[in-house]
Structure 1
Amino acid sequence: MSNISIGRLRGGYCVYWDDPETGKRKRYQLAARTRAQAEAEGRDRFLKETIAPVGATIEQIWQAYIGHLGTKPTATTMRHTGKAVLPEFGSLRPDQITINDCRAYTAKRLGAGRKVGTVHTELGHLRSALKWAAKIRLIDHAPYIEQPPKPDSDVRPLSDKQITALLDGCGAPHIRLAVILLLATGARVGAILDLTWSRVDFDRGVIDLRLPDGVTRKGRAVVPMNRMARSALQTAAQVRVTDHVVEWGGNRVKSIRKGYASALTRANLSDVNIHQIRHTVAVRMLTAGQPIEAVAQYLGHSNTAITYRTYARFMPEHLANAAAILEFDRFTELKRTS
């Protein structure tokens, strides 16, 4: 935030800026004890002092929250979701929003062909921005934002035949490498495209999918390198020219959407989005008898409840023991034989 500065005051930190109306400098003592804490607290104090709580609109709060998020991935996503949310809510104050407004927004977006998950995310961003505004006392309280029920994950694991066809359909080497790494790690495509050679350890046999600065909205894991991944990585390492594992034409690859779509066409596969590879990895591990805690760690889930909710139905003999308890006819059989 360029219009504020952080300085030292009475052994601690302060934030100050020039009032555009009076030209006078405003300065406030901060509770922060580190420079990083002072930067964050200073932003919140500036917003609190310059946006009147009664008059703050959703537009102002939305943009302020994006500024607060800084370089976090959610900030980028909210710039996109704001294109849908702000035309409907931007001019309103938080206290003016009703449940009927949320329901009308949901109906309008669904009527325009948007998926339930998309609308859930858009209203979720609105909810997060308002909760943050209330937390820093930019507004008195955050109104209730009703979201449509989040849809169940579309888990459709690929068969062996489909996986083979997909790999055979990968025309370019970097697309094949990316798909192999997705199959070997269960990672999201963003994690694979972010992967650098410095986090590929051939000696230890591990792939570290985590970003060094930890700036990511989704969990990432450190996973073992299986034979398939090692072979593909060793081949790629011999011709690498960039720091990133997935590269093409001497440049880092930022998207494989077109290449993946072409692979699906060659494989004669339809409606197989790239996230289904991650689902396939999870289901294969579970049906092979791996404990769900291990699968959660492999996928980078911080909470095993997420893994249970998404994949428990694929666990071998799921609820079989519970069902066996309900075999009441066994009592009749025992009476006959006694």
Structure 2
Amino acid sequence: MNIGRLRGGYCVYWTGADGKRTRRQLAARSRKEAESEALEVYRATTYASRPKDPTVAEIWEEYREDLGDKPTATTMGYTGKAVLPHFGHLRPEDITKATCLSYAELRKNAGRAQGSVHTELGHLKSALLFAENTRMIDRAPKIWRPEKPQTDKRILNPGEARALIEAAIEPHIQLALILLLGTGARVGAVLDLTWDRVDFERGAINLRLNDGATRKGRAVVPMNASTRAALTVAHAVALSDYVIEWAGGPVGSIRKGISGAVQRAKIGHVRIHDLRHTAAVTMLSNGIPLEKVSQVLGHSNTSVTFSTYGRYLPEHMQDAVNVLDFMSLKTGR
């Protein structure tokens, strides 16, 4: 939403999700008045067709439409198949703790993992908060959901990481592995990476996208020596704008290629996301400050990094338990 000048006064204009541009004349005679009036005009025009006293199903679809082409919108198309039969007919004020717990129990009995149920109810929570923030409803209800389970993380040692890279047959898989382990990036960020965001002069890799399509944090990461060398070779023979390419085009998935490398390296079960975990724990275990690790991983704050990886670093609590060594401490009666 933007404010401009029109016929000697002010106007508000915006581009909708359908690409259509809308403009409305304002009565305001000052910039400050225009800002206040513009918001009311925008809401009145944009939300005029919205349902009054909406159901959860109506809110869900409104939220998906607002997300546009973001990945979450696609995911909610799947989670909605489970959530909406249970909650869709309800008004937000009808949702209670019992409603949420009964849903969790039904999904558990249907064989769904606790983490999946946590995600499904998380999408419901996000949709209802969106409805509150955009004034579809006065207040979003609390959503009770099961705890997100702690997943076991496979951390590769340096020898295993090197063996995995060397076991990759295809050049684009090997380059992807070097980037994943050398930057701590998520696989989506690596596959999205284009050469215009690789700065050889500064020695930096910009994993961020300017279109805001991703909700997960991404960082600008320096190159280490191995990453620079691999990128330099790949850049010299590049056939497209994408760093990870196959036959001159972008790559949609590297899961099969990495699975093959894992098998040839004979290092046991390894998931792609374990490479990010490996990068994080390796940095922390080598004394890199939590703040720097958080920046490399693109986390919004250090508390996210600590809650995810703190349990892999028991040594940071050593001084605390040392004072509990009552057999060694000399204390008075």
Q: Give 1:217's aligned residue.
A: 215
Partners of 2:218 and 2:298 within 8 A in 1: yes
Q: CA deviation at 1:168?
A: 3.0
Q: State the distance in 2 between where 1:257 and 1:75 align.
A: 23
TM-score after normalising by structure 2: 0.84
Residues 141-182 of structure 1 deviation map (CA, whole Å, 9 limit, x = unaligned) = 222211111223533211234323322332211111111100
Q: State the distance in 2 between where 1:253 and 1:294 align.
A: 30
Partners of 2:117 and 2:146 within 8 A in 1: yes
Q: State the distance in 2 between where 1:315 and 1:308 align.
A: 10
Q: Give 2:12's aligned residue.
A: 13
User: What code does the residue aligned with 1:237 have?
Assistant: H
Match 1:134 to one of 110, 113, 132: 132
Residues 258 and 136 (structure 1), Cα distance of their counterparts in 2 relative to 1, 3 Å cut: same
Q: Give 2:49's aligned residue.
A: 50
Match 1:62 to one of 48, 52, 60: 60
Residues 164-211 of structure 1 deviation map (CA, whole Å, 9 limit, x = unaligned) = 332233221111111110010000000000111011111211111111
User: What code does the residue aligned with 2:10 have?
Assistant: G
- The percent identity for this pair of structures is 50
TM-score after normalising by structure 1: 0.83
Q: Give 1:20's aligned residue.
A: none
Residues 48-72 of structure 1 deviation map (CA, whole Å, 9 limit, x = unaligned) = 4333433x12111111011222233
Q: CA deviation at 1:131?
A: 1.6
Q: State the distance in 2 between where 1:189 and 1:241 align.
A: 21
Residues 180 and 85 (structure 1), Cα distance of their counterparts in 2 relative to 1, 3 Å cut: same
Match 1:99 to one of 97, 100, 111: 97
Q: Which moved more, 1:305-314 or 1:287-296?
A: 305-314
Q: State the distance in 1 between where 2:196 and 2:224 align.
A: 18
Match 2:326 to one of 318, 325, 328: 328
Aligned runs of 1:300-319 on 2, under 5 Å? 300-315=298-313, 317-319=315-317
Residues 66 and 221 (structure 1), Cα distance of their counterparts in 2 relative to 1, 3 Å cut: same
2:254 maps to 1:251:
no
User: What code does the residue aligned with 1:72 have?
Assistant: K
Q: State the distance in 2 between where 1:8 and 1:60 align.
A: 36
Residues 292-337 of structure 1 deviation map (CA, whole Å, 9 limit, x = unaligned) = 11111111112100111111233372210001111223344x77xx
Q: State the distance in 1 between where 2:147 and 2:327 align.
A: 40
Q: Give 1:113's aligned residue.
A: 111
Q: CA deviation at 1:215?
A: 3.4
Q: State the distance in 1 between where 2:41 and 2:203 align.
A: 42
Secondary structure at the aligned position of 2:130 is classed as: helix
User: What code does the residue aligned with 2:183 have?
Assistant: T
Residues 46 and 327 (structure 1), Cα distance of their counterparts in 2 relative to 1, 3 Å cut: same
Residues 250-276 of structure 1 deviation map (CA, whole Å, 9 limit, x = unaligned) = 110121122222222323344311111
Q: Give 2:191's aligned residue.
A: 193
Partners of 2:323 and 2:329 within 8 A in 1: no
Q: State the distance in 1 between where 2:136 and 2:269 align.
A: 45
Residues 63 and 194 (structure 1), Cα distance of their counterparts in 2 relative to 1, 3 Å cut: same
Q: Which moved more, 1:240-249 or 1:271-280?
A: 271-280
Match 1:124 to one of 122, 125, 129: 122
Partners of 1:57 and 1:93 within 8 A in 2: yes
Question: What value does the CA root-mean-square deviation take over the aligned residues?
Answer: 3.1
Q: Give 2:20's aligned residue.
A: none
For these two proteins, the number of residue pairs brought into alignment is: 315
Aligned runs of 1:231-246 on 2, under 5 Å? 231-246=229-244
Q: State the distance in 2 between where 1:74 and 1:261 align.
A: 26
Q: State the distance in 2 between where 1:240 and 1:278 align.
A: 25
Residues 45 and 67 (structure 1), Cα distance of their counterparts in 2 relative to 1, 3 Å cut: farther
Residues 223-276 of structure 1 deviation map (CA, whole Å, 9 limit, x = unaligned) = 111111111111111211110100001110121122222222323344311111
Residues 204 and 64 (structure 1), Cα distance of their counterparts in 2 relative to 1, 3 Å cut: same
Q: State the distance in 1 between where 2:174 and 2:34 align.
A: 49
Aligned runs of 1:169-188 on 2, under 5 Å? 169-188=167-186
User: What code does the residue aligned with 2:320 have?
Assistant: A
Aligned runs of 1:15-30 on 2, under 5 Å? none
Partners of 1:102 and 1:145 within 8 A in 2: yes
Q: Give 1:24's aligned residue.
A: none
Partners of 1:289 and 1:315 within 8 A in 2: no
